Amino acid sequence: MSRDQDSKETFYPGPSRSHLAAFPPKERWDDWTELDSRAWPQRKERHYSIVPTTCFNCESACGLLAYIDKVTGEVQKFEGNPEHPGSRGRNCAKGPATLNQVTDPDRILYPLKRTGKRGAGQWEQTTWDEALDTIAERIRKAIIENRRHEVMYHVGRPGEDGFTERILAAWGIDGHNSHTNICSSGSREGYQLWMGLDRPSPDHANAKVILLISAHLESGHYFNPHAQRVIDGKANGAKLIVFDTRLSNTATHADYWVAPYPGSEAAILLAIANYLIQNDLYNREFVERWWNWREFLEAEGSGATDFGNTDFSDFEKRLKRIYQEYTFEFAASESGVEAKVIEEIAKLVATAGTRFSSHNWRSVASGVSGGWSVARCLFMLNALLGAIATEGGVYPNAWNKFVPRPIYTPPHPKMWNETTWPREYPLSMNEMSFLLPHLLKDGRAKLDVYFTRVYNPVWTNPDGFSWIEMLTDPELVGCYVAVTPTWNETAYYADYVLPMGVGSERHDLHSYETHDSQWLGFRQPVMKAARQRNGETIGDTREVNPGEVWEENEFWLELTWRIDPDGSLGIRQYAESKKNPGTRLGVDEYYEWIFDNSVPGLPERAAAENLTPLEFMRRYGAFEVKEKIGRVYEERVPAGELEDLNEDRFGRIFTRAAKPAGPNIVPLPSPDGDEEGRRLAGIAVDGTVKRGFPTPSGRLEFYSSTLNNWGWPELAIPTYFKSHVHKDNLEEGQTILISTFRLAVQIHTRSANAKWLDEIAHTNPLWIHPSHASKLNVRTGDLVRVETEIGYYVVRAWVTEGIRPGIVACSHHMGRWKLTDEGQRQLMATVKLDQKGTEWSLKREKGIEPYESADKDTLRIWWKDAGVHQNMTFPVHPDPISGMHCWHQAVRVRAAEPDDKPGDIFVDTKKSHEVYKKWLAMTRPADKFSPDGTRRPYWMLRPLKPAREFYNLK
């Protein structure tokens, strides 16, 4: 065989652009042959149809290939999809473990309806028709009676950009509630303040220096796609710096691992910034062109107010003066990291130029009050170096993401829901979801229909007992519907439990900022696609999924149809087929329309293979829309978009021309317009109109007029300030608990139904440094009590040098529980809950045990522990600006009492309500601080924006 033939046969030529020897060439996906390993030494062939889909086990949306055995008709295994530009054929352990979720003997197979009291564990099987009619009738009534704020949809994992937001918009309700303020709002806020977009898209593979305040080699946003590119970068010679108080797997790969005192990271970052500033090592041209320094000077009262007459050197002098206090010694005193190490890191960062990639995801930004300023100070380094949208730098996320235009776009809801967007938090990044029980208990609202969708707030959120109190009170929640692929702690309190498909049983579209390109991934029910490939006609996914498991998109379309069966409410039109008016829109038509009309290049690419666009996506599962997006902010705005211009003194260009129509390639600036109703089109730079950034100034916002005008002038520029767990704010004997870190093989509560993952990770001991442990006289395996503001939990200690002395840590994902035998038995212990007034306790009655089921492996279960549900003992800590729940806890750790057992929990919800009130008092509400009578700056991102007039407070 020639070398050429060999490369064709052996190496994968798809958009992964990698030489992946292990992947079947796509030409053979209809009939792929492998030898049956179990039949060895007999050479027994097995034949597969290979069908792509997208993993649903985290937000990375990596491609998967389902190997469907042609004889049994069952999925034999899942492996990576080399056609996927983001994941490039690679997956983490959770991807292939999708198979466990499909075959999980404990999965919910039929719609269930509560028969006893909420939480009593008594259910009967019901029909989809009964559930849909009952729920639709309640929603219809709430809409007709103008109680639209009583309908709420609360999402954990969205699955698809905007699908359910559009369903809610079709219903005319502002009922979207996300989990994001317990997840990533902190860093999002910091990024949004700089660039108007809330996530970074780092080009790690081409970087010279990578700085991570996250654990991207094992978890984090888009972690597998980013992890492989971090390793590519390292292989190309990049230096890796990791800030993490705990020795993560990522930290073990670092050239510099620093373990700062939690919450001090911004001090270190500003010391690095100061080094660049004082030594003139920043990108002067970039800062002059792209920072909004003129606004800053004007706000400072320099007297220079006319565009063109301000002096950049004056700004530079001020910059030097402002940041001079952030010395290496100051950063060292705050962080506990040696000044000389910080200096070495600063010098390394200075060598990166525009090849500096960085990322702050969750980590401390989700841990401490003011955590958003960590992301803001980190991005300041990119802004100083000009390492924004450059090769090896950081791109604004939306420029590396493709969201196609859908078949219908219902109008913005004509209402504002104060239960999710209370006026105390006008600058919050996302809905104040975790305050829901407190807001309802305060009598601010009640819910008639409450959905959770792939979400488990009783377990995932802080203060879970307050959630149970809310869900068991029918006066507060009329009807609770849990839409879920697997049992969870919250679903036990539902009126309806509706089983939804796992990653290989549903449709969704995805695009994420994995690198400098735009791609679209297609999740699909693989059995449906395989049978369609064989010429069968499949109706909805219940025909191919186990039991009566459905897919969500079909469910929401059907529910929308039934809310407005005759179309009189104006809702049904958004769930109606265009091809066959009068009938309900199906998912095949929904996706066919998008692929035919909204994805540039796809129809042509498909036609080249004699496929329709939908057939192409069903066959390959992903499409790269555009490679190398580049520096969008430098693009010249075409003359056609510059009608009836108005230029203000800061060079902002406003136009009356409509926004360009067509598929969204890159988001254009969209903040507020001028006083005469023109929209912001771009900014004047060097005599031309450039796209700029979607911020109020159109530039990178070193100075935030938003923070200044909405009551936070002291934080208008990147600043370090003391967090709620700063040393000065701790009491004698208190230490900090880090509770947010994730394990590489679990994902919140969604992966407990994967036996392979449970066998690897099934407990969460308390990390404690030997020096700390010896003071407490604690050894590995000893039981300790961790006391929070509202209660305590009991956990085993793990003495390790992998944590900063004096700080303790306990991982996320664990402490799963169930009240009866009903539930997921591989990782959920059986517990008893006791309530005396506002005092609650949780005690484990039975650990994990082997059991008989259709899967023989359940008899081989050897682990007993399931860890501890620590989140229950945390009160809510809403950051007054970002709204992010600040997860780090000031705790006391001590030896357990003689009667304490692993996993024990005690909480007083009266205390948790008091803590909620204390944090509420720290806010600066819109009523008092809004500069213009609105509830929230209109330019700020918000899922499902209401119509503009509903931003007005009155």
CB of 431 vs ligand SF4, minimal distance in Å: 24
CB of 224 vs ligand SF4, minimal distance in Å: 3
Which residue, 461 or 514, is less far from ligand SF4 as judged by CB? 514
Which residue, 55 or 797, is less far from ligand SF4 as judged by CB? 55
Radius of gyration of the chain (CA): 27
Q: Per-residue x/- mask for ligand SF4, residues 615 to 654, rule CB under 6 A?
A: ----------------------------------------
CB of 223 vs ligand SF4, minimal distance in Å: 5
CA separation for the pair 614, 772 (Å, rounded): 59
Does position 858 interact with ligand SF4 (CB under 6 A)? The reply is no
Which residue, 88 or 844, is less far from ligand SF4 as judged by CB? 88
CB of 482 vs ligand SF4, minimal distance in Å: 22
- At position 121, the amino acid (one-letter code) is G
CB of 49 vs ligand SF4, minimal distance in Å: 21
- Contact at 8 Å (CB) between 415 and 173? yes
CB of 494 vs ligand SF4, minimal distance in Å: 26
- Contact at 8 Å (CB) between 903 and 831? yes
Local structure of 346: helix, strand or coil: helix
CB of 617 vs ligand SF4, minimal distance in Å: 18
Does position 753 interact with ligand SF4 (CB under 6 A)? The reply is no
Which residue, 95 or 175, is less far from ligand SF4 as judged by CB? 95
Peptide bond just before 200 cis, omega within 30 deg: no
List binders of ligand SF4 among 254-313 (CB under 6 A). Answer: none
User: For ligand SF4, which residue of 16, 49, 91, 504 counts as binding (CB under 6 A)?
Assistant: 91
> Which of 428-440 are b and which e, b meaning 16 or more Cβ less than 10 Å from the residue's Cβ?
bbbbbbbbbbbbb
Does position 488 interact with ligand SF4 (CB under 6 A)? The reply is no
Does position 224 interact with ligand SF4 (CB under 6 A)? The reply is yes
Which residue, 22 or 859, is less far from ligand SF4 as judged by CB? 22
Name residue 114's beta-bridge partners.
123
The end-to-end CA distance of the chain, in Å, is 78
Which residue, 58 or 332, is less far from ligand SF4 as judged by CB? 58
CB of 200 vs ligand SF4, minimal distance in Å: 18
Question: How many chain residues are in contact with ligand SF4, going by CB under 6 A?
Answer: 13
Does position 226 interact with ligand SF4 (CB under 6 A)? The reply is no
CA separation for the pair 753, 755 (Å, rounded): 6
- Contact at 8 Å (CB) between 268 and 331? yes
The piece of 91-99, 528-536, 655-663, 730-738 that touches ligand SF4 (CB under 6 A) is 91-99
* 75 alpha-carbon distance from chain centroid: 29
User: For ligand SF4, which residue of 67, 123, 171, 223 counts as binding (CB under 6 A)?
Assistant: 223
Does position 813 interact with ligand SF4 (CB under 6 A)? The reply is no
Which residue, 276 or 747, is less far from ligand SF4 as judged by CB? 747
Query: Which residues, in sequence order, are CB contacts of 333 under 8 Å at separation 6+?
Result: none
> Which of 803-827 are b and which e, b meaning 16 or more Cβ less than 10 Å from the residue's Cβ?
bbeebbbbbbbbbbbbbeebbbbbb
CA separation for the pair 187, 882 (Å, rounded): 9
Which residue, 231 or 665, is less far from ligand SF4 as judged by CB? 231
CA separation for the pair 893, 898 (Å, rounded): 15
Does position 512 interact with ligand SF4 (CB under 6 A)? The reply is no
Transcribe 798-841 into DSSP letters: EE-SSB-TTEEE--SS---EESSS-S-TTT-EEEEEEEETTEEE
Which residue, 199 or 942, is less far from ligand SF4 as judged by CB? 199
CA separation for the pair 380, 372 (Å, rounded): 13
Which residue, 223 or 493, is less far from ligand SF4 as judged by CB? 223
- In this structure, the number of other CB atoms found within 10 A of the CB of residue 516 comes to 23
Does position 795 interact with ligand SF4 (CB under 6 A)? The reply is no
CB of 28 vs ligand SF4, minimal distance in Å: 23
CB of 86 vs ligand SF4, minimal distance in Å: 9
CB of 83 vs ligand SF4, minimal distance in Å: 15
Does position 337 interact with ligand SF4 (CB under 6 A)? The reply is no
Local structure of 849: helix, strand or coil: coil
Tell which residue, 18, 67, 30, 84, has the closest CA to residue 621.
Answer: 84
CB of 838 vs ligand SF4, minimal distance in Å: 38
CA separation for the pair 3, 470 (Å, rounded): 68
Q: Per-residue x/- mask for ligand SF4, residues 30 to 69, rule CB under 6 A?
A: -------------------------x-xx-xxx-------
Helices (H), 336-449: 339-350, 372-385, 436-441
Does position 773 interact with ligand SF4 (CB under 6 A)? The reply is no
Does position 355 interact with ligand SF4 (CB under 6 A)? The reply is no
CB of 159 vs ligand SF4, minimal distance in Å: 12
Does position 250 interact with ligand SF4 (CB under 6 A)? The reply is no
CB of 512 vs ligand SF4, minimal distance in Å: 10
**Is the CA virtual torsion 128, 131, 136, 137 positive or negative?**
positive
Q: What are phi and psi of 105, to 5 degrees?
A: -70, -15
CB of 212 vs ligand SF4, minimal distance in Å: 16
CA separation for the pair 111, 104 (Å, rounded): 17
Q: How far lies 710's CA from each of 697, 700, 706, in Å?
A: 16, 19, 6
User: For ligand SF4, which residue of 46, 84, 94, 942 counts as binding (CB under 6 A)?
Assistant: 94
Q: Per-residue x/- mask for ligand SF4, residues 832 to 851, rule CB under 6 A?
A: --------------------
CB of 670 vs ligand SF4, minimal distance in Å: 30
Which residue, 55 or 680, is less far from ligand SF4 as judged by CB? 55
Which residue, 104 or 189, is less far from ligand SF4 as judged by CB? 104
Which residue, 113 or 523, is less far from ligand SF4 as judged by CB? 523
> Which of 174-194 are b and which e, b meaning 16 or more Cβ less than 10 Å from the residue's Cβ?
bbbbbbbbbbbbbbbbbbbbb
Query: Which residues, in sequence order, are CB contacts of 372 under 8 Å at separation 6+?
Result: 185, 186, 187, 188, 189, 190, 193, 365, 429, 879, 881, 882, 884
CB of 221 vs ligand SF4, minimal distance in Å: 10
- Contact at 8 Å (CB) between 365 and 186? yes
Burial of 243 (C-beta count, 10 Å sphere; 0-12/13-18/19+): buried
Which residue, 224 or 763, is less far from ligand SF4 as judged by CB? 224
Which residue, 67 or 356, is less far from ligand SF4 as judged by CB? 67
Which residue, 336 or 525, is less far from ligand SF4 as judged by CB? 525
Tell which residue, 364, 188, 378, 135, has the closest CA to residue 264.
Answer: 364
Does position 95 interact with ligand SF4 (CB under 6 A)? The reply is yes
Transcribe 507-558 into DSSP letters: -EEE---SSSEEEEEEE--HHHHHHHHTT----SGGGTSSTT-B-HHHHHHH
Which residue, 95 or 903, is less far from ligand SF4 as judged by CB? 95
Query: Contact positions toward ligand SF4, by CB under 6 A?
Result: 55, 57-58, 60-62, 87, 91-92, 94-95, 223-224
